[in-house]
Amino acid sequence: MDTEALRLFVMAADRLNISAAGRELGLAPAVASGRLARLEAELGVELLHRTTRKVSLSLEGAEFLPYAREILAQSDAARAVLGNSQSHPRGTLRFAAPSSFAQLHIMPLLADFHAGHPDLTLDLRLSDRQTDLIEGSFDLALRSAPLADSSLKGRKLADDVRILCASPAYLAEHGTPEAPDDLSRHRFIAWANADPRELVSSTGARFTLKPAATLCRAIIDDGTSQREATLAGAGISINSEWSVAHEIRRGRLVRVLPEWRLNDRAVLWLVYPRSNILTPKTRAFIDFLIERLGKRKAWRM
């Protein structure tokens, strides 16, 4: 199978524009259309529907697309092992990450990354709704998972420490908890499922926090919204340190029970498909994020 024809198909599928994909590969529109037609003839299916006004993926094309990406990843990795890779990464990197984290810590770095990798395009898919495993169509994803989950293929970015916090105005009105038992007398902003969670202190003491046993008046499934509600004085919440560190440094939030944290051993991982193939473009972005964000450099309080 012609890997360059596959590359053209993947780029055309991403852009829904065969001519634009061809131009990026140095092909005239007629040459690009002919190469795609030969690939479709070889496979015996129409991968892309063409009309005079638009291009769209066929059902077969959508099903084939993740496999085409994987074949290209295998090919690029093999060339890299043999020393035949390009001198610098190029192409499109599809990256999935939580929107709340990306807004705070990845978006400010895009200009620096592009300056060092001018031939790489980042296709960022940002959502706080996470899947269990990275989809076949993504090169890389940022996920939060317990350290014990050794099935993930990837590299650790940082510990995902989660802490209690509240606004100064809320604490001034309702008082500051001195011990975990005091939380039952406070308003609490809970996570989506409102299940009990265990807190652990710096001395190893443990406490089970039950939102149902507090004055819980808000259940929020979005990290950014939970932080904003806390800033507005809606109550005490548990947030990832990376989400609230800048607000704590500015005095807009206060860490509550500073000796305590959520005991879930969560870790931020940069994960890639189970085939365990690291293409040059994926390795470049992983190395960049670890250098700039690794070991909590960006949000250490």
184-234: pLDDT as tens digits: 999 999 988 788 999 999 999 999 999 988 999 899 988 899 999 999 999
The per-residue pLDDT for 90 is: 78
The reply to whether the predicted model has a pTM over 0.85 is: no
CATH number at residue 100: 3.40.190.290
pLDDT tens track for 129-154? 765 454 456 788 998 876 555 555 78
**Strand partners of residue 262:** 199
Using the structure block, give the residue that is written with the tokens 């890389």.
Answer: 140
> Cα angle vertex 256, ends 261, 232, to 5°?
120
Among 287, 269, 277, which residue's Cα sits nearest to residue 136? Answer: 277
- Domain end point (choices 33, 50, 85): 85
Whether 57 and 204 share a structural domain: no
Quote the mean pLDDT of the chain.
87
- Res. 178 pLDDT band, cuts 50 70 90: very high
- Is residue 185 located within the same domain as residue 259? yes
Structural domain boundaries, residue 289: 91-301
* 8 Å CB contact between 130 and 99: no
Percent over 70 (pLDDT), the chain: 89
Q: Residues, the chain, total?
A: 301
- What are the tens digits of pLDDT across the range 30-73? 999 999 999 999 999 999 998 878 889 999 999 999 889 888 87
Q: Distance between CA atoms of 265 and 137, rounded to whole angstroms?
A: 29
Residues above pLDDT 90, as percent of the chain = 53
CATH at residue 33: 1.10.10.10
pLDDT at 82: 59
Residue 78 has a pLDDT of 73
Higher pLDDT, 130 or 116: 116
Compute the distance between CA of residue 222 and CA of residue 279 in angstroms, rounded to an integer.
32
Q: Are residues 57 and 118 part of one domain?
A: no
The total number of structural domains in the chain stands at: 2
pLDDT value at 277 more than 90: no
Look-up of token digits 């808000």: 218
Same domain assignment for residues 155 and 115: yes
Residue linked to tokens 């529907």: 49
Q: Kindly report which listed range (76-80, 210-214, 265-269) carries the lowest average pLDDT score.
A: 76-80
C-alpha to C-alpha distances, 297 to 99, 140, 242, 251, 285, nearest whole angstrom: 19, 21, 10, 20, 17
pLDDT of residue 72: 84
